[in-house]
A and B are shown apart, each in its own frame.
Chain A
Amino acid sequence: MDLIIEGIAKAIALIVTLDPEVLNITWLSLKVSGCATLISLFLGISFGTMLALADFPGKRLLVSIVNTGMGLPPVVVGLFVTIFLWRNGPLGFLEILYTPGAMILAQAIIATPIVTGITVASIQNLPANLKLQILALGASRGQMVWMLIKEARLPLLAGVMAGFGGVISEVGASIMVGGNIKGYSRVLTTATVMEAGRGNFDVAIALSLILLLLCFAINYLLTRIQQRERPR
């Protein structure tokens, strides 16, 4: 019990004194996961909208695969990204293994199916005739797609939350492709694993607390936007 109380006390101290290393780690976490989420939003919303609107044989299979991908184990993603980025791997020439770039890549791979899956569901949930109504209003195909995405913006925000929440809290891929290098590729989750392994529970608790606060703050913000728009 003492361990937890001491840990929390230390944690608060680390946070209020704005410990430079903790700040650094937090900032990198935000940067890496933020970038990865942005990339996954771009890819996921484009691909998901296409998938929802197009009609082709094998569509159900593809949607099933995407939905399976929503639960992609980060360690598996980390493993394959590592193999691809390995010195003599197919993408070895990029020389980005053990860099934040590699972490962004891995996290984007984890988040994209999540955003895609939620986009497919959101777009398919719109009334079937809405697409025809928009076209009948004189919209070009591009305008139609954009208007549909705008219509699905509230459920899509859930996609943003799920995607960001998924990557900021994942550890398997980040540790494998980032290497947990101090001051360079160390993020909140990888640092927590390391500190806990060393028995520095106070620091581990501090880092976990920050992670929780961060997740809460961002989800709170997005939920506020979502609920404000929703008619009461």
Chain B
Amino acid sequence: MIDTAMLLEARNLSVKRGGVQVLDVPEFYLREREVLSLIGPNGSGKSTLLLTLACLLQPITGDVLYRGEQIVSERSKLLYRRRLAMVFQEPLLFDATVFDNVAAGLKIRRMTRREIDRRVMETLELVNMVAFAKRSARKLSGGEAQRVSLARAFAIKPEMIFLDEPFSALDPPTRLALTEDLEGILRETGTTAIVATHDRLEALRLSNRMAVVSGGKIVQSGSPVDVMHRPANELVAAFVGMENVLSAEVQAASVGMLTLSIGKQLIEVAGNGSPGEMAVFCIRPENVTITTDNPGGATSARNVYPSTITRIIPMGVYNKIWLDCGFSLVAYLTPQSVGTLHLEVGKQVHVSFKAASVHLIRIGD
């Protein structure tokens, strides 16, 4: 966890659109050099939160504090905006050359021609776009244009950068390349950042804190690993890639261990609770093991179920396998494993998972 000075704080942010509350954030903070990812489905309020934090959207109530100082007057808003930069999903480049685009923020700040030249070339180098300086921005590909947009943002050497789904519109290889580059630039420059994304891998890759936004609220915030493995509710679980989210009932409880029933099956998991309680059972597909013979005592996994394969879908580097073991479960397996085990739809297999790999969400938590 980063423990640097507080850079940005917000309290009681509330935004309504057409009478509907689209943002309700009682508390928000961002520390210096922190990279925070906002993840959540489209329309969850990520962009609204970013725009409100950037003072580009006036909330009905709430304050934004920068280094402990409240931003109220128009003048203080302008000075605040000059410390930050923003990148949107569309590159939003000006109808000018790449050079002039990257220079835009510097010209606004009335820097000298020499200083602008130096900064622009320096920043273009950062995003590997030096060769494009004299090109018209209208002739760039999507990825190139977004690189220029990044350069334009970093050219002003912002103290904070807000990125709103910066790479969502790009094809996967370009998105990956840009995510890697952005990670490098953020690390090199030590810029504090907030990245809104609905791509959890992008969030994992870039950020050291993750906040899940849903229905205009921050429903969970913590280290990315924490959020991914211990989602606070079903919605977060589904969003962070816990593909197996099932409702269960606690049948018996002993010290640190619970017996749950899902449908007719009983499952042993680590956790605390009392019989009769309802809970949500989550397990990541990569933690589900498939074997063709009964592993019996040969494995430390406590839960072993005979199952039938109902569906196999190749997803590239892995195959997604649906299983029926009294309840329905999804597992990921490499195509090699699928081949070695001769897996096919209808085949009888044994499914197992460790009690410790299960994440339990207690209803009412």
Complex interface: chain A residues within 8 A of B105 (CB): 137-138
B103 to chain A, nearest CB (A): 11
Measured CB to CB, the nearest residue on chain B to A130 is B92
Complex interface: chain B residues within 8 A of A133 (CB): 86, 88, 92
A94 to chain B, nearest CB (A): 40
User: Interface-forming stretch among B77-85, B178-186, B236-244, B255-263?
Assistant: B77-85
A143 and B108 form a contact (CB under 8 A): yes
A132 on the B face (CB < 8 A): yes
Q: How far is A226 from B84 in the complex, measured between Cα atoms in Å?
A: 35
B51 and A132 form a contact (CB under 8 A): yes
Complex interface: chain A residues within 8 A of B94 (CB): 147, 150-151
B256 to chain A, nearest CB (A): 50
Q: Is the interface of A mostly helix, strand, loop or mixed?
A: helix
Measured CB to CB, the nearest residue on chain A to B105 is A137
A136 and B136 form a contact (CB under 8 A): no
A137 and B51 form a contact (CB under 8 A): no
A135 and B56 form a contact (CB under 8 A): yes
A132 and B86 form a contact (CB under 8 A): yes
B119 on the A face (CB < 8 A): no
Q: How far is A104 from B81 in the complex, measured between Cα atoms in Å?
A: 44
Measured CB to CB, the nearest residue on chain A to B136 is A231
Contacting B at CB under 8 A, from A118-169, are 127, 129-130, 132-133, 135-140, 143, 147, 150-151, 153-154
B170 on the A face (CB < 8 A): no
Complex interface: chain A residues within 8 A of B84 (CB): 136
Q: How far is A137 from B105 in the complex, measured between Cα atoms in Å?
A: 5
Measured CB to CB, the nearest residue on chain B to A136 is B86
Complex interface: chain A residues within 8 A of B90 (CB): 127, 129
B113 on the A face (CB < 8 A): no
Per-position contact with B for A194-232: 1 when CB-CB < 8 Å, else 0?
000000000000000000000000000000000001010
B56 and A151 form a contact (CB under 8 A): no
A47 to chain B, nearest CB (A): 23
Are A140 and B88 CB-contacts (below 8 A) given A151-B94, A151-B95, A231-B139?
no
B109 on the A face (CB < 8 A): yes
Are A137 and B108 CB-contacts (below 8 A) given A147-B94, A231-B138?
yes
Q: How far is A127 from B104 in the complex, measured between Cα atoms in Å?
A: 17
Q: How far is A147 from B152 in the complex, measured between Cα atoms in Å?
A: 15
A138 and B78 form a contact (CB under 8 A): yes
Q: How far is A53 from B311 in the complex, measured between Cα atoms in Å?
A: 54
Complex interface: chain A residues within 8 A of B162 (CB): 136
Q: How far is A190 from B82 in the complex, measured between Cα atoms in Å?
A: 56
A135 and B92 form a contact (CB under 8 A): no
A136 and B108 form a contact (CB under 8 A): no
Measured CB to CB, the nearest residue on chain B to A150 is B94
Per-position contact with A for B92-128: 1 when CB-CB < 8 Å, else 0?
1011000000001100110000000000000000000
B85 and A137 form a contact (CB under 8 A): yes
- A138, A150, A151, A154: the one contacting B81 at CB < 8 Å is A138
When A and B form their complex, which 8 residue pairs have the shortest distance between CB atoms, in order from nearest?
Answer: A136-B86, A138-B82, A231-B138, A137-B105, A133-B92, A139-B108, A138-B108, A132-B56
Binding site for A on B (CB under 8 A): 51, 54, 56, 78, 81-82, 84-86, 88, 90, 92, 94-95, 104-105, 108-109, 136, 138-139, 152, 156, 162
**Can you name 19 A-B pairs with beta carbons within 8 Å?**
A129-B90, A129-B92, A132-B56, A132-B86, A135-B56, A135-B81, A136-B54, A136-B84, A136-B85, A136-B86, A137-B86, A137-B104, A137-B105, A137-B156, A139-B108, A143-B108, A154-B95, A231-B136, A231-B138
Binding site for B on A (CB under 8 A): 127, 129-130, 132-133, 135-140, 143, 147, 150-151, 153-154, 229, 231
